[in-house]
Chain A
Amino acid sequence: MTMDLRELYQDIILDHGRHPRNFRAIEHPTHTAKGYNPLCGDRVTVYLTLDGDKITDVSFEGRGCAISTASSSLMTQVLKGKTLAEAHALFTQFHAKVTGGDIPELPEPLEEDSERLDPLTGVKAYPARVKCATLPWHAFEAALRGGAAEPVKTE
């Protein structure tokens, strides 16, 4: 195996891909949305419970590759307990890291969460796979916009 592949499929990715955390439906979510990647047929449903602007619970269901499943799993872990502003800042930075844009600074309390997402940034070297990593985050943002009736697509 090449070093590049080890970068992409780090142990933590394989672990979360096989044993995703918060992999369940929330029975009465305040927000929910589906994400869909037409390229590979991956589907994810993200569920949220908000108390004011604080995320008190977040979970997901669906089927996908190791990257999208691990990304969904790690996303739910870092989002729990965050405010919407914090969540948005985390996504903005994560998006920049995987797509190669200017990486914005995060306030210090969020740095640890940001580092937890870093194993996913190996996708940057695989343009065809970037959407796998960003799919759950797009679904999360769609849920906040009002749980669009139509699934959000990455294409």
Chain B
Amino acid sequence: MNDMAAAKTHAVLDPQALRREFPIYQNNPGLVFLDSGASAQKPAVVIDGIAEYYRRDYANVHRGVYQLSQRSTDAFEEARETTRAFLNAADSNEIVFTRGATESINLVAQSWGPVFVKAGDEIIVSDLEHHSNFVPWQMLCERVGARLRVAPIGPDGGFDLAAFEAMLSPRTKMVAVTHVSNVSGAILPVERIAELAHAVGAKLLVDGCQAIPRMPVDVRAIGCDFYVFSGHKAYGPSGIGVLWGRYELLVAMPPWQTGGGMITLVTPERTEFQDPPHRFEAGTPDISGAVGLKLALDFIEGLGRDAIREHEEELTGYAIDRLSRIADLNLVAAGQRRLSVLSFNLAGIHPHDVGTVLDQHGVAVRVGHHCAQPLMDKLGVAGTVRASLGVYNDRDDIDALAAAVEACREMFSR
């Protein structure tokens, strides 16, 4: 065991070897995939594992008395336990399966929101939020007559902790921020944000979509109240996501969607509901999605989250260095501490045009506003070109990106 532990702390990722575990690379030779921030590719262990589950163990969950249904239920609940352990949550009953982070946030905004947020209260989000951690809160505020406040970014493009602190007051009921920005890769000081939010009696929801696939996450160490993420950005299937919430909060929340699987008693007069997490999982869940998510989280743990973070930090540094040497290239939020996500623009060339040229060079990046229009407005840009990293990326990918960017610059300067 000691040897294994030692090996793990010294594990270095070998992206070239890892690519052999991702069939997308076999089917798309020469692919330079730099869009894992939008959605990560899937390892064979996830793809095959889902197929195997359908072949061997599939039946509906929490319904049948027969053995197959029990096996399927066990697989589903095992996924919940794996997710609990992955987040270091206290209790697997705190893990709610959803369609994705977007649904997780909407669940909290629509179930917890109207009970605990009243007219005159305030909700704080940040400039760095994806629309999915912005619009649900805006809608809630409109619905109950609360005020949405937006914590700004500082001059370096990172989260401005002092400005955020100044916004807090006893009126603040919820703070909802991202763990890692999907635009600039900025890492937010979520532990400190939790302390400050709790000091005024507010709750903290953290959007972990970009953090989960690339760094250790311990919800109890962070001290937040809710943590959400999507499976598909973490090498798992699309259609499955997670809401973690502290149990005493979940148990105080009314059902969100209603239907089968979430009740204990239904009569024509009234219905009694299950305890969390089943209270929030109406209807047949995405069972194979949960099975796939478990395999994806096991895959990540197998590589080691410290090793992944180390790998992506090293590559992020290389990419910053490489891109900074390109004339007319402006790195967005250049001054701050970042991980795995780099946004940039080429002076005088629209990101959409850059994206098309890069695509012709076989380089897949995301261009546009990245579902973060308030941030784009703040940065004074229509959009950006965004490269984001995964475990399968290496320096050759960054070199290919840089070469394609140079070619683009050349073409537009003719």
Contacts and interface: CB of A to CB of B under 8 A. Distances in A.
B193 to A, nearest CB: 29
Nearest to A43: B382
Interface in B330-379: 348-353, 356-357, 360, 367-369, 373, 376
Interface string A68-105: 01000000000000000000000000000000000000
Contacts of A65: 350-353
Contact of B356 (A8, A11, A42): A8
Interface in A5-41: 5, 8-9, 11, 14, 18, 39-41
11 contacts: A1-B407, A8-B356, A9-B411, A18-B348, A40-B368, A41-B383, A64-B352, A65-B353, A66-B350, A66-B353, A66-B412
B412 A129 contact: no
Contacts of B411: 1, 5, 9
Interface in B367-414: 367-369, 373, 376, 382-383, 407, 410-412, 414
A154 to B, nearest CB: 12
A132 B360 contact: no
A64 B356 contact: no
B368 A67 contact: no
Interface residues on A, range: 20 to 34
B352 A42 contact: yes
Interface of B: 348-353, 356-357, 360, 367-369, 373, 376, 382-383, 407, 410-412, 414
B352 A132 contact: yes
Given A14-B414, A65-B350, A40 B383 contact: yes
Given A1-B411, A67-B353, A40 B360 contact: no
B307 to A, nearest CB: 35
A78 B360 CA distance: 31
Contact of A40 (B349, B367, B410, B412): B367
Nearest to A6: B411
Contacts of A129: 352, 356
Contacts of A66: 349-350, 353, 412
A128 B358 CA distance: 14
- Identify the interface centre among B348, B382, B407, B412: most chain A CB within 10 Å of its CB: B382
Nearest to A37: B352
A2 B360 contact: yes
A152 B35 CA distance: 29
A40 B414 contact: no
Given A40-B367, A41-B376, A42-B382, A14 B356 contact: no
A40 B369 contact: yes
A116 B323 CA distance: 38
- Identify the interface centre among B356, B368, B410, B411: most chain A CB within 10 Å of its CB: B356
A129 B357 CA distance: 12
Contacts of B383: 40-41
B409 to A, nearest CB: 11
A126 B368 CA distance: 16
B412 A14 contact: yes
Nearest to A5: B360
B27 to A, nearest CB: 20
A145 interface: no
Contacts of B357: 1, 5, 9
A64 B412 contact: no
A8 to B, nearest CB: 7
